Amino acid sequence: MKKIAVITSGGDAPGMNACIRAIVLTAYQHGMEVIGFRHGFRGIVEDLNQPLHPNDMRLVSQRGGTILLSSRYPEFKQVSAAKAAAQVLDAHGIGALVVIGGDGSFRGAHHLNQHWYGQVIGVPGTIDNDLAGTDTTIGFTTAVDTAMEAIDRIRETAEAMARVFVIEVMGRHAGFIGLHAAIAGSAEGMLVPELEPQPKLAEIADNIKRARSAFPDSSYIVVVSENLWPGGVSQLAKELTQATGTTCHAAPLGHIQRGGRPNAQDRILSMQLGQAAVHAIIDGASGHMIGVEQGHVVEVPIHLTFERDKPLDLRLVNLQRGLQQLNFASKVG
């Protein structure tokens, strides 16, 4: 019987548990055993193994976080760490490893693939959606839902008090959450790194001033990607307050965007990719990510997922830009 191992690695993402479930059930269906290692790559090196049985999978898909636990483990870049992991995997008689994670984890998977004879398969799990070769990643749409709900809540109080807010969303160095949350939250402004790596204070301030003078009793929300404004949104709010003469409030949403029950879309995606990962192993694949493009499951060489840039969807960029302008036009017109 072939044994498969699975880890969740890097930042956890809602849907990882549903993916583990699909991997375990599909593997058993094909007569294979599954072992998990807790805390990602560190757990392999330290042999923190945990057998995974279909019975353990009954109530996991609904839960956020990861039942296998995760960690960031930069030490895995070292050849000695990859070789140590290979030894542990061999000692357990494991023939294939599924890595559920984001770009850092896929770099680790690629590295391990060069130092281990077993098959290595990646499944994209990150709220950031910043992996090329897949339209979406596990956890992304749930994180957008969470950000949208937070923006809606801030909108109500902002509207009641006619306030300006700059709301910071996650994404590391990518603007996918920012773009989608800005559209869904009907934001008046959006700052994401792909479009404006160095946004200009005067421009943002001018837009706020014009909107405020045309419609002083309204709220005004700018969605800002993390790591974009030096000092974050608290600093941006201070600078905008000075530049506009209006108090601007900062709301960094932070890790609430990573937690929570996965939405239906993420559960379905996770199970689809988890099942396809096991099928890919049966077919002999290695060094590939299992992703989804236009509804179809695809296999992409894993190094291409982090070596290539993934662009924002221009149609959505234009949608947000157009609506921002129209919103403003209706206020001044």
Q: Judged by CB under 6 A, which of 102, 108, 124, 185 binds ligand F6P?
A: 102
Residue 176 CA to residue 130 CA, distance in Å, equals 7
Q: How far is the CB of 191 from ligand F6P (least distance, A)?
A: 16
Residue 26 CA to residue 251 CA, distance in Å, equals 42
For residue 123, give the nearest of 39, 30, 20, 35 by alpha carbon. Answer: 20
Residue-wise burial string across 129-148, b where 16 or more C-beta atoms lie within 10 A, e elsewhere: bbbbbbbbbbbbbbbbbbbb
Q: Judged by CB under 6 A, which of 2, 72, 209, 303 binds ligand F6P?
A: 72
Which residues are tagged catalytic?
Answer: 128
Residue 55 CA to residue 169 CA, distance in Å, equals 37
Query: 247 and 240 in contact (C-beta within 8 Å)?
Result: no
For residue 264 the two structure tokens come to 């239906």
Options 169-177, 203-211, 290-298, 316-324: segment touching ligand F6P (CB under 6 A): 169-177
Q: How far is the CB of 129 from ligand F6P (least distance, A)?
A: 10
Binding flags for ligand F6P, 289-318, as an x/- string (CB under 6 A)? ------------------------------
Residue with smaller CB distance to ligand F6P, 72 or 261: 72
Options 75-83, 90-98, 146-154, 165-173: segment touching ligand F6P (CB under 6 A): 165-173
Q: Judged by CB under 6 A, which of 6, 148, 167, 170 binds ligand F6P?
A: 170
Residue 191 CA to residue 198 CA, distance in Å, equals 9
The answer to the question of residue 60 lying near ligand F6P (CB under 6 A) is no
The answer to the question of residue 194 lying near ligand F6P (CB under 6 A) is no
End-to-end CA distance of the chain: 71
The residue count for binding ligand F6P (CB under 6 A) is 11
Binding flags for ligand F6P, 7-26, as an x/- string (CB under 6 A)? ----x---------------
Residue with smaller CB distance to ligand F6P, 26 or 105: 105
Neighbours of 214 (CB within 10 A): 14
E strand map for 114-193: 119-124, 164-169, 189-191
The answer to the question of residue 171 lying near ligand F6P (CB under 6 A) is yes
For residue 19, give the nearest of 264, 291, 274, 280 by alpha carbon. Answer: 274
Q: How far is the CB of 32 from ligand F6P (least distance, A)?
A: 30
Residue 180 CA to residue 115 CA, distance in Å, equals 39
Q: What's at 224, amino acid-wise?
A: V
Query: 137 and 316 in contact (C-beta within 8 Å)?
Result: no
Enumerate residues 111-130 that contact ligand F6P by CB under 6 A.
Answer: 126-128
The answer to the question of residue 258 lying near ligand F6P (CB under 6 A) is yes
Residue with smaller CB distance to ligand F6P, 139 or 185: 139
State the DSSP string of 73-105. Answer: -GGGGSHHHHHHHHHHHHHTTEEEEEEEE-HHH
Residue with smaller CB distance to ligand F6P, 73 or 220: 73
Residue with smaller CB distance to ligand F6P, 111 or 258: 258
Q: How far is the CB of 8 from ligand F6P (least distance, A)?
A: 12
Enumerate residues 133-152 that contact ligand F6P by CB under 6 A.
Answer: none
Residues of the shown chain interacting with ligand F6P in the complex, contacts defined by CB under 6 A = 11, 72, 102, 126-128, 170-172, 226, 258
